[in-house]
Structure 1
Amino acid sequence: MKNTNEKKFFERLEEVFIGAPVEGASGYINLMRIKSHYFKSVMEPHLRQETESVLNSFPDFREELFDKLYTFFRRYFTEGGSIGFVFTPYHQSIYEQVYTNEHDVVLFWKTARLYYVKTDHLFQSMTVEVDGFRFHFDASQLEHKRANEKRELFYTFREHRPEHDVIIFTVHYPEKGRQTRIDTIRLAIRDGLGLNRYTAAVPSAETLQKAFRLFERQSKLDYFLCKDARGFLREQFDLWMWQYLLGRPGEAPPVGWTETRLKQLQALKHIAYRVIDFIAAFEDELVNIWNKPKFVLNSHYVMTLDRIARQPGGMEILQQILSHPGMPGQLQEWRDLGMVDDRFQPGHIWQENLIDGRHLHPRYQYLPVDTRYFPDLELHVVALFENLDEALDGWLIRSENYQALHTLLPKWQGKLKAIYIDPPYNTGVDEFLYVDSFKHSSWLTMMENRLAVAKSLLAGDGIIFISIGDLNPQEGESYRLQMLASSIFPKRFGNLIWRKRGGIGSFSERDMTENHEYVLVQGNEEAFLYHNILSEQKLDEFSNVDGRGAYRWMGLLGPSQQTKEKRPNLNYELLVHPETLQLVGFRYAVHGSEVYDLRTRTEDENLAETVIRIAPPGKATWLISREQMWKHAQSGLIQFRRTSKGTYEPQIKNYLHDAEGNPKGNLLKSLLADNGVPVGTNADASRELSALFPETDVQRIKPKPVSLVRLLLQVASASGDTVMDFFAGSGTTAHACLNLCREDGRKRKYILVEMGEYFYTLLIPRIKKVIFSDKWKDGRAQTDGKGISHFVKYYELEQFEDTLSRARYEDSSLFTPPAGADPCQYVFLRDPKMLDALEISPELDEVQLNLGKLYRNIDLPETLSNLTGKRVRRIQPGLQPSAIPASVQFEDGQQLDLEHLDWRQIKRLIWW
């Protein structure tokens, strides 16, 4: 049969390149259309032309050529069209690469050279029969997941078709936590059948649940992008070719290569490289979209009343807010969040007296105002702040976390002091808010992608903490994560052990029950942990107080390993006045000669004979040098205490805080329970969240206790530092940061990234509640709670799926490659991508920017700040009431006119 292998090759290439068919509406579906168009219009025609040109010299080589191409390329594509190690038996030499003598062990996994995008089902419309009923599920309008959040399908009864006796459902992913209600569906089916009561014609709840489960059993895939498709596939082809020429391991190499045969193999390599070039051109385009900076969308601010009132002109703005049409919505939110009762009215925020006049009521000064209720005032509120980014205490970002980390990199590179994350552990348990049943290689890739960017965000002395369970040690990820983290971060501190529960473990094997988890501690080259843990025992030691603060008297003997032989400079006698007990000099030896150093002039002629001499006992030395001892004595920090034996010993004032106000506490102990400070368990975490949201299913959220994260932030951050959590969940890290700032009076900033829809239903409400009060019960703020002055911004980011949905790819003449040029270098220069945002006026010879054609509610100041890495200083509203700012000024003084923005300022966002 002529061209059998050629036909098979091109059919298979199309199949693996485009991936398995899937129904629905999403950026991924648009990608399938783009891929199909690219294959049919660009890739296949050029490859056929080039293979014909090569085969003119070797017509008998045609079948073998396509057979070899088919054999090689089928091994490197997943069912979803992703590139990587897929079908890789031993003889294909999947190996660990040892690059340097310094790194003689390198962690290798099959998806290490990929970007993890998401895990999703390949849903297709289908008909199933259950218990005598026929059900058809229409997935044609299913809008697929934008990222890797956990989402349940939502089923809607559409109609009953009697001619086919089939019940039809529409399937989609819901918003705002909506769930399928079986009783509602049964009622809709009953009404659709025209019945007044339930009969056997209406399927039971059990039957419907069986049908839904059957539909949901469709294939699930991990989606990846290859970081360097050209390099990866060429490397693998060269290995394959090498094995083909020399034989597989253990086999004798073939002999008798002729000149013609070698030329045929050269032709094979040439065509394989051309196939790789076309594949790589498309994959590189997707990688560019994946790593494209993202637009900031739907941004708003939350600030406490006192923060507004403190700004020049703030009192007038507060009056406008209180009389604004959006105020009833804000008032209802305060009531719903349990901050005020039904009797509360806006005027209650004020208090008046003869001395201070009108001012904010102390109980209500920390009520959080959300600017989404006041869209026409939002920019005027923000304009109150002279240095906006400096004034902000936090950023809450709804986004898939890799997209967020990569977008934030220019602005925050090297500026984060601490990162805490609690990623999905890959337990396979379905109750998590994230997908939690990866293949090991997929999980490692997901983590590697994000940790690699996190390293760049950390300061040179920055720390990262990673919570990780050890569930089912042979299948869990803790030991793999340790190798991965150590390959990324140059400094490893070790593992902290957190006791997560006191009773039976949450996971039991035959021989062991688990009641602990680990916190991996890694950092950059200069990373360090503060010695500032203050246990109750430690605090009791500092029982004295003077004008500088709490202190204790501490002995001055050096550590046991610091002997007289090793440190002779710390071996000397203290000379103390017998009456005043003040230090007057020293006695010591220099090269065998005695030095009597009496530094105090006095009328007591017998002082040299009556002076008290105090020497360090035995082999011990003093802790500090003579000059330091004299300096501290002159400052009043040294005293001499008479012991029970009638001798004297020196003591020094040891203050609880250093000159900068940092507490001088204990080192962090790896067993967190041994640090003498509260570190809660899973049960405590559930109680904390239940106190804030009594109606929430906290078991599904699985939060960490605030006290655990607070302790980690305490030893890793100080005043002025910024911390991050990019698996933010319910917002425990921000809660811990707020509590720590409330306790020590320091100002720390935080960045939280979360992709789930509970970003709005749980995370932001939690931050608002914790701002207002630190004490809650049954969802209500307690009267003895303490609030905190606060200012936080929240927004969404454009996602990979959003870009795929809006990007246009077509074989246009926008950019025409030069005659004879390689089409792989120019093919995507001929497509408009997202240039719909540009309005070109030939008459005026200008290009105008209209970003409204892409997205509504773009926050241009924040978008440009992330893009350029410049912090926002001031946002200026326009003359007309509008949610669109007139200009933005950055910290370096640059000011941009946003109403007439040059399109080149945002070129990387719309054309890559």
Structure 2
Amino acid sequence: MVQNNGKLELNWVNKDKTLIVKDYDKGQYEWVDPNDYRVSEVRLFKEIGKFGENSSDNLIICGDSLNALTSLSKIPEYRKKYVNKIKLIYIDPPFNTGQMFANYDDQLEHSVWLTMMRDRVLKAYELLSDDGSLWVHLDDTELYHFKLVLDEIFGKENFVASVLWENKPGIAMDAKQFSTSHNTILVYSKNSGWKQNYLKIEPNLREFKYQDEQGRYYKRVMLQKWGANSARADRPNMFYPITAPDGEEIYPMRRTARGVEDEGCWRWGVLSYEENKDKIDWVKNKEGWKPYTRQYAEKSELRPPHTWWNHDEVGQSSTGTKEIQKLFPDIKPFSTPKPEKLLQRIIQIATNEGDIVLDYFAGSGTTAAVAQKLRRKWIIVENNEETINNFAVPRIKKVISGEDKGGISGGVNWTGSGGFTYFQVEKSMFEVHSGIICLAENALNGKLAKLVATQLEYDYQPDNEHFCGRKGDVLLAVVEGMLTEGLVNFLLNSMDKNKFLEIAALSVDPELESKNYNNVKIGKVPNNILRHYARI
């Protein structure tokens, strides 16, 4: 750590760089400048399919989370819908076990992990609403490092809590030192005025086995007092006869420690008994009739969330595994799935019905499954296509169809509804040939107009015949070919005289270089886009 201008912060190798992931599985990464074209590029989304009703409410996105978050914040239709609109971001990132970074020595693996995480949180921060919160699931490997990073991004004053989740309640007898039984979830609010929801605590009904005529649960407590001060001599006015169902008079008789029968006392006086005798349960055993009072279970109450979440309340690691096995009995379980009750508690504390939840390390889709059952909108991102196709997509389909009866389904009376759209982050629009950045083939054939409009931050207008983008009083025209003087004049004649025009073309007639237009800016793709990135 270093002190910089009086501010305490964490420093690491290449902190001023951004990390490009080349291959997650092989642990191949590259540090680049933050304005590198690979960081600045806004990838389009390719629709793979839709499922259910209101499918635009919820998104499954397959691709690198850095690209996906950039696209959500930059593509106009998503920017308007999601920037500063997401109420809860929950992430369970890959823990830095060292296995992810086999190609780096111990001095660099922390830098790789911290850079990867920092870059994504910065992108996600733009999407978080002013009254939203971020929940980050970590183990001790990077917990204390990353808290300092989050302090820098959110401000120390917006740290809310460290929640300890008891994920492994047993004792690991092979532990070298301490047996670790918990993970930590760091909670940050975007602003200091964040207000969480209180938890509705249901009473523990295990002891309350009986129901009265109104359906209220109660347990039986002996009317006769026992223990200290239970002798007649202690409370003389509590010694009196009461009538059993068969007419027999019953006195509060007790046995002393020596087994001698002795006179005891009731818990109620005569007046209290007369007022409540219709609420007495009579039970007959070998010793005769015994009267019991009714002690009712407390009603549900609301309380602030606390920071110790034991496995009895929200499940443990094995709970999540069992839930996945039940859904997919023929597939090897996804590693480290979280129990649905854990996500239920987080979502209920941080959101209300209709709010948007984001998870950009989605794994098997637990966050989306629980958010759907709790009637929230959601976005999940996962880079591993196999994980999405084998677990997340079929799992959410089961939730929406009502086939998923496990997890929290019974507790929230879930029977199915909703829908989602499945997207894939498209490949880069750029390629490098002999050290020169060029347009890739997949950027052509009808895609160029939307790609250019998105990169140059125009609102895309697909239905406009001549101008595919607009930014205030500036119109954008994209020419997938050579731009000529005649085409420039045609475009100028097709627009209002008080507007400005930017033209992006694959090539430009050399004769246009000598022309000077007051209200026209001409650029050649991709150079004009790369220059725009450098200015961001």
SS at match of 1:531: coil
1:851 corresponds in structure 2 to 446
SS at match of 1:407: helix
Once the 2 structures are TM-superposed, how far is the Cα of residue 498 of structure 1 from its aligned partner? 0.3
- What is the alpha-carbon root mean square deviation over aligned residues? 4.6
2:399 corresponds in structure 1 to 770
SS at match of 1:459: strand
SS at match of 2:393: helix
2:17 corresponds in structure 1 to 114
Q: Distance in 2 between matches of 1:695 and 1:909?
A: 50
1:294 and 2:294 matched: no
Among 120, 137, 161, which residue is 1:450 paired with? 120
Q: Distance in 1 between matches of 2:455 and 2:366?
A: 25
User: Superposition pairs for residues 479-498 of structure 1, below 5 Å?
Assistant: 479-490=144-155, 491-498=158-165
Q: Distance in 1 between matches of 2:307 and 2:92?
A: 18
1:408 and 2:72 matched: yes
SS at match of 2:90: strand
Instruction: Give CA-to-partner distance per residue, 1:741-779, whole Å, 9 cap, x none.
Output: 2xxxxxx211111010221222111110111126447x9
Once the 2 structures are TM-superposed, how far is the Cα of residue 707 of structure 1 from its aligned partner? 1.0
Once the 2 structures are TM-superposed, how far is the Cα of residue 440 of structure 1 from its aligned partner? 1.0
User: Superposition pairs for residues 65-76 of structure 1, below 5 Å?
Assistant: none
Q: Distance in 1 between matches of 2:525 and 2:160?
A: 39
SS at match of 1:417: strand
1:533 corresponds in structure 2 to 199
SS at match of 2:198: coil
Once the 2 structures are TM-superposed, how far is the Cα of residue 418 of structure 1 from its aligned partner? 0.6
Write the letter of the residue equivalent to 2:307: S
User: Superposition pairs for residues 322-341 of structure 1, below 5 Å?
Assistant: none
2:280 corresponds in structure 1 to none
1:684 and 2:319 matched: yes
Once the 2 structures are TM-superposed, how far is the Cα of residue 395 of structure 1 from its aligned partner? 0.8
SS at match of 2:111: helix
Q: Distance in 1 between matches of 2:460 and 2:420?
A: 15
Instruction: Give CA-to-partner distance per residue, 1:340-364, whole Å, 9 cap, x none.
Output: xxxxxxxxxxxxxxxxxxxxxxxxx
Instruction: Give CA-to-partner distance per residue, 1:644-682, whole Å, 9 cap, x none.
Output: 9xxxxxxxxxxxxxxxxxx983211111239xx830111
Whether the 8 Å CA contact 1:494–1:520 is kept in 2: the answer is yes
2:332 corresponds in structure 1 to 697
Whether the 8 Å CA contact 2:83–2:126 is kept in 1: the answer is yes
Whether the 8 Å CA contact 2:23–2:29 is kept in 1: the answer is no
* Inter-CA distance 909–672: structure 2 relative to 1 (3 Å threshold): farther
More contact order relative to length (CA 8 Å, sep ≥ 6): 2
Q: Distance in 1 between matches of 2:349 and 2:3?
A: 37
Whether the 8 Å CA contact 1:704–1:732 is kept in 2: the answer is yes
Count of residue correspondences: 382
1:74 corresponds in structure 2 to none
2:143 corresponds in structure 1 to 478
Q: Distance in 1 between matches of 2:370 and 2:314?
A: 12
Instruction: Give CA-to-partner distance per residue, 1:90-128, whole Å, 9 cap, x none.
Output: xxxxx83513x4xx311111121111223xxxxxxxxxx
Write the letter of the residue equivalent to 2:360: F
1:708 corresponds in structure 2 to 342
TM-score normalised to structure 1 length: 0.37
Once the 2 structures are TM-superposed, how far is the Cα of residue 526 of structure 1 from its aligned partner? 4.1
User: Superposition pairs for residues 60-209 of structure 1, below 5 Å?
Assistant: 96=2, 98-99=4-5, 101=6, 104-118=7-21, 146-148=22-24, 150=25
Instruction: Give CA-to-partner distance per residue, 1:264-303, whole Å, 9 cap, x none.
Output: xxxxxxxxxxxxxxxxxxxx6xx12322111222432111
Write the letter of the residue equivalent to 2:185: V
Q: Distance in 2 between matches of 1:456 and 1:664?
A: 36
1:794 corresponds in structure 2 to 422
1:499 and 2:94 matched: no
Instruction: Give CA-to-partner distance per residue, 1:525-581, whole Å, 9 cap, x none.
Output: 2452423311113999xxxxxxxxxxxxxxxxxxxxxxxxxxxxxxxxxxxxxxxxx
* Inter-CA distance 97–532: structure 2 relative to 1 (3 Å threshold): closer
1:833 and 2:439 matched: yes
Once the 2 structures are TM-superposed, how far is the Cα of residue 728 of structure 1 from its aligned partner? 0.6
Once the 2 structures are TM-superposed, how far is the Cα of residue 516 of structure 1 from its aligned partner? 0.5
Write the letter of the residue equivalent to 2:60: L
Write the letter of the residue equivalent to 2:396: I
1:517 and 2:183 matched: yes
Whether the 8 Å CA contact 1:292–1:908 is kept in 2: the answer is no
Instruction: Give CA-to-partner distance per residue, 1:325-380, whole Å, 9 cap, x none.
Output: xxxxxxxxxxxxxxxxxxxxxxxxxxxxxxxxxxxxxxxxxxxxxxxxxxxxxxxx
2:32 corresponds in structure 1 to 225
* Inter-CA distance 803–865: structure 2 relative to 1 (3 Å threshold): closer
Q: Mark the runs of 5 or more structure 1 residues left unpaired by the alignment.
A: 1-94, 119-145, 152-219, 228-283, 308-387, 471-475, 541-643, 645-662, 742-747, 812-827, 839-849, 877-886
Whether the 8 Å CA contact 1:96–1:106 is kept in 2: the answer is yes
TM-score normalised to structure 2 length: 0.61
Whether the 8 Å CA contact 2:429–2:442 is kept in 1: the answer is no
Larger Rg: 1
Q: Distance in 2 between matches of 1:509 and 1:525?
A: 40
1:418 corresponds in structure 2 to 88
* Inter-CA distance 668–299: structure 2 relative to 1 (3 Å threshold): same
Once the 2 structures are TM-superposed, how far is the Cα of residue 504 of structure 1 from its aligned partner? 2.8
Q: Distance in 2 between matches of 1:508 and 1:761?
A: 34
Q: Distance in 1 between matches of 2:71 and 2:131?
A: 22
Whether the 8 Å CA contact 1:465–1:519 is kept in 2: the answer is yes
Task: Compare the two structures and name the one with the higher strand fraction.
Answer: 2
Q: Distance in 1 between matches of 2:326 and 2:398?
A: 11
Write the letter of the residue equivalent to 1:673: N
Whether the 8 Å CA contact 1:492–1:521 is kept in 2: the answer is yes
1:753 and 2:418 matched: no
SS at match of 2:392: helix
Once the 2 structures are TM-superposed, how far is the Cα of residue 221 of structure 1 from its aligned partner? 5.3
Q: Distance in 2 between matches of 1:514 and 1:694?
A: 29
Whether the 8 Å CA contact 1:409–1:866 is kept in 2: the answer is no
Instruction: Give CA-to-partner distance per residue, 1:724-750, whole Å, 9 cap, x none.
Output: 000011111101101212xxxxxx211
Whether the 8 Å CA contact 2:137–2:184 is kept in 1: the answer is yes
Write the letter of the residue equivalent to 1:106: E
Whether the 8 Å CA contact 1:408–1:866 is kept in 2: the answer is no
Aligned residues with identical type, % of pairs:
25
Once the 2 structures are TM-superposed, how far is the Cα of residue 464 of structure 1 from its aligned partner? 0.3
Write the letter of the residue equivalent to 2:389: Y
Q: Distance in 1 between matches of 2:419 and 2:396?
A: 11
Q: Distance in 1 between matches of 2:357 and 2:434?
A: 44
Q: Distance in 1 between matches of 2:189 and 2:67?
A: 22
2:302 corresponds in structure 1 to 665
Please list every run of at least 4 consecutive aligned residues from structure 1 whose deviation after the TM superposition is greater than 6 angstroms.
435-438, 863-867, 869-872, 887-890, 895-903, 905-909
1:359 corresponds in structure 2 to none
